[in-house]
Structure formats: structure tokens, C-alpha cells
Structure 1
Amino acid sequence: MDLSTVIGLILGLSGLIGGFILEGGHASSLLQLTAFMIVFGGTFGAVIISFPMEQLKTVPKLLKIAFTEKKLNVHESIQQLVEFSTLARREGILAVEQHYDKMEGNPFLKEGMMLVVDGVDPQLIREILEIEIANIEARHEKGIRIFEAAGGYAPTMGIIGTVMGLVHVLGNLSDPDSLGPSIAVAFIATLYGVSSANVIYLPIASKLRARSQMEVLIKELEVEGILSIQAGENPQMLRKKLLAFLPPAMRELEQEKTFAGEANE
């Protein structure tokens, strides 16, 4: 479970509802079935119209990615690349072939190392792997756009719900005492639309994009490592080159892990 997503969602909803209650409102007044149907039904309907069913089928998987901590171990990738670099310089590049089983959990790295062992031209290897990275980014972006679209439609559906409510209110002006409560109910739709967009849909899209960017960063790091191994670069220089891909905080953490591992050996 990704605690940041869960905690953020709870804090966001709690802040909205808690602030409303502290102002003297009643939580029960926020529960309006008609507004819920208009906003969420309209949003989901618009999203379904906007995207092919093949993409929409990925929504459960995307939610799972947003709410679970995906294992992207940059430390493991760097360690493997440095180990393969050491092995290739000591025993030759063909010796890496005996260690394919270590890469079963990382098919991208395995594919790259297989191309190196097969003697494929470095430029062609880079092109093949970069095309694969581009496809990964494009696939991720398709999923992200679903939630961004929902975040765009929801506030509009809220406004539509509010207008529909006000039309109903204006059609019943004969009862002045009910005008206040009826107008308040009408604006619940806008609340649903704006809050769902900014607390649920758009934050999930941002989380998915952050996950995608980290995965792409690791893939780019692996491409550079694979080509460096093929070029026969020094393992320690390779490690420094790979660390340069990481932001300062991650770089320091990676160096600490490396030092700790060396101290335990």
C-alpha cells in the first residue's frame, strides 16, 4: 500500500468535510443523491465517450499502481550493471550470458544485455531500447490522460448540476421559505465536481506521472549502463556515470547503500 496516496486522500477529504463542519454545517447536508448521480454519472459517461474501451479496461490496474508501492529498485539496477561490467572486463562479454537468470525480474535490462552479447552495433542497441522506452512512456500517458480528462469534466458536470438545481428552484418561487435550502442543495453538485477533480482525479494523474517518470529514468540509466558495458568502461567510472542520472537526494542515498554494502563484505 502506498501510504502517501492513502494519507493524502484521507487528509484532503477530511479537511474539506472537517472545515465545513467547523463552520457550523452538518455532514448529512453534503450527501445529495441527485447531485452525486449528475456529477459522477456525467463524468464517467464523458470519460467513456472520450476513450476506447481497450484503454478504459486499464483503469483498475492504474488505480492499483496509484494505491500500491511499485517496486522500482534503482539500487539493484546499478549494482547489477556494475557487476556485469566487472564480469565483462574480467572474463569477457560472453560470460554475462551465464547470468541471465539474475535479470528475470527486469526484462528490459535482460533484453539489452542479450543484444550486447549477440554483438549488435551500439547505435542499433540504443535505438531499439529508446524506442521501447518511448513506447512505455506513450502507454503510461494514455492511462494518465483518462484521469486528467475526468478531472476536467467533473467541475463542468458540477456546474451543470448546479444550474439544473437552480432551474428547479426558480420554477418553485411560490414557496420562499424553501429557497435557501434548495439553493444550498443545488450548489452541492459544484462542490462534488470541484472536490472530486482536485482531491481524486488530478492527484491520481500526478501520482501516475511521477511513477512513470521514475520508471523511465531507471530505463534510461540502464541503457547508458548497457552501452558502457559494451564499450568496456571501468566499473567504478560506470557507477559514477549512473549516479549522475539520479537527483541529489537519491544519489546520496545510493552512495550510502553502496558504502554499507562494501563495509559488510
Structure 2
Amino acid sequence: MDVLSLLGVILAFVAILGGNLLEGGALASLFNAPAALIVIGGTLAATILQTSWPVLKHAFSQSRWVFVRPFVSLEDGLDKVVNWSVIARKNGLLGLEGLAESEPERFVQKGLLLLVDGAESSTIRSIMEVDLDTREQRDLDSARVFEAMGGYSPTIGIIGAVMGLIQVMTNLEDPESLGSGIATAFVATIYGVALANLLFFPVANKLRGLVRERTRYEDMMIEGLIAIAEGENPKSIEIRLRGFLPW
């Protein structure tokens, strides 16, 4: 669980709701079903219209990365590679076969299986880099989906505000309906701007950062597997791979 992401979501709600209370407002005034329907529904509709189903499905599936990392840490990955190199040095590459079959990460498992099968280091690199580049572009497309939602929601919020004002102007003779129209107008604007700046853009940027980190992790695993294939000793492999660590 990413505690910082969870803390960010909590602080966002506390800031908005707490600020409203400090100004003397009621929490109920921030909950408006028509405004929510306009902003959330309109944003989703625009996003669905511009996005293919596979990309949209992957984006919403990938959103869990914000709270749960999709890969082990770089330090743990380095330890795994060094352990593999020790085993390969003692028992040969075939000694890694059992570890390859039980490896939970499919990308790393593919590299281990290539290593066990005796593939050349250049072959391992070319095959794994194709997978890496394809995965990276697909994951970045997911981040762009949330970025697009962040661009649409404020505009949809303005549409909701205009619709609320239209209701106000067409019912000036009915004072009882003025309040709901004005509430929809202002709350829709709040929803649109808040969703963009407190949810959609932060999620997009978080996913983009995680994609970069995952790419660095997988680059490190490629270099480690190639070093094992070339027979480097475990200490040299560890020193080389420590260059991938951020600190």
C-alpha cells in the first residue's frame, strides 16, 4: 500500500470539506446529484469517445497502481539477480530452471527461461527490450487517459454551471427553484475543477512516474540477466546494478 497516495486523497477531502466548514458552510451544500451526474457522466462520455476499449480497460485496471506498486522495489530486484548469479555460478544456468518456473513476474520469468535455454546475451536483450518498449507505451497510454479526463472535467463543470444558470433565468418567477439552480451551477464548477486537480491529473502524473520507475526496474533486470549469461561474478553484477538505484 502506498501510504503517500492514501494520505494525499485524505488530505484533499479534508482540505475541501474542512475549508467549507470553517467558512460556515454546510456539508450538504457540496453534495448535488445533478451536478455530479453532469460532470462525472460528461467526463466519462468524452473519455470513452476518444479512447479505444483495450486502452480504457487497461487504464482503469492500472489505476490501482496508485495505491499498490505493480513490481518489487529496485533493491529487492537487485538482491534477486545477485542470488541468481550465485546459483548459476555454483550449479550452472540449469540451476535456475526451478526459479524460472516459479517466478511471479512474467517479464522476468521470460528472461530467466531464455537464460536457462542458453540463449545468447544479444538475443535476450533484443527480445526483452521489445517487450519492455511495448509495455511502456501501453502503460503511458493509460496515464494519458486520466490526463484527458483532467482536461475535460473543468470544461464539463462549466457546462453544468451554465445549465444551472439557464434554469435560474427561466424560473425567475419561481423563487423556490432558484436555490437549486444556483447550487447546481456553482457545485458543478467545483466538481469539475476539484476532480481535475485533486484526482485526475495527480493520478496521471503518479502513473507516469510509476511507469518510469518500472522501466528502470526492468532495464536493471535485463542487464542483470545478460551479466549472468556472460558469466560475470556476483560481486561485479551487484556493483553494476547499483547504478540503477536512485540513491
TM more than 0.5? yes
Q: Quick one: which amino acid aligns to residue 53 of structure 1?
A: W
- Aligned-residue offset at 1:14: 1.4
Secondary structure at 1:136 match in 2: helix
Q: Which moved more, 1:211-220 or 1:52-61?
A: 52-61
Number of aligned pairs? 247
- Aligned-residue offset at 1:98: 5.2
Deviation string, structure 1 residues 110-141 (Cα, Å, up to 9, x no partner) = 32233233332322221111111112112212
Equivalent residue runs for 1:1-265 within 5 Å: 1-97=1-97, 99-101=99-101, 103-173=102-172, 182-183=181-182, 185-248=184-247
Q: Quick one: which amino acid aligns to residue 15 of structure 1?
A: A
Q: Quick one: which amino acid aligns to residue 97 of structure 1?
A: E
- What CA distance in whole angstroms lies between the structure 2 residues aligned with 1:13 and 1:49? 29
Deviation string, structure 1 residues 185-215 (Cα, Å, up to 9, x no partner) = 4121111100011112222222222322222
Secondary structure at 1:223 match in 2: helix
Ranges in structure 1 where 5+ consecutive residues have no aligned partner: 249-265
Change (3 A) 1:99 1:14: closer
- What CA distance in whole angstroms lies between the structure 1 residues aligned with 2:32 and 2:236? 63
Counterpart of 1:253?
none
Secondary structure at 2:111 match in 1: helix
Q: Which moved more, 1:175-184 or 1:24-33?
A: 175-184
- What CA distance in whole angstroms lies between the structure 1 residues aligned with 2:34 and 2:183? 13
Change (3 A) 1:228 1:171: same
- Aligned-residue offset at 1:59: 4.9
Tell whether the 8 Å contact from 2:75 to 2:245 is kept in structure 1 after alignment: no
Tell whether the 8 Å contact from 2:132 to 2:215 is kept in structure 1 after alignment: yes
CA root-mean-square deviation: 2.6
- What CA distance in whole angstroms lies between the structure 1 residues aligned with 2:107 and 2:65? 19
- What CA distance in whole angstroms lies between the structure 2 residues aligned with 1:243 and 1:56? 36
TM-score by length of structure 1 reads 0.82
Deviation string, structure 1 residues 5-44 (Cα, Å, up to 9, x no partner) = 2221121011012112212222222122221111111111
Secondary structure at 2:244 match in 1: coil
Counterpart of 1:252?
none
- What CA distance in whole angstroms lies between the structure 1 residues aligned with 2:243 and 2:222? 14
Q: Which moved more, 1:112-121 or 1:132-141?
A: 112-121
Percent identity between the two aligned chains = 39
Q: Quick one: which amino acid aligns to residue 18 of structure 1?
A: G
Q: Which moved more, 1:233-242 or 1:163-172?
A: 163-172
Tell whether the 8 Å contact from 1:72 to 1:215 is kept in structure 2 after alignment: no
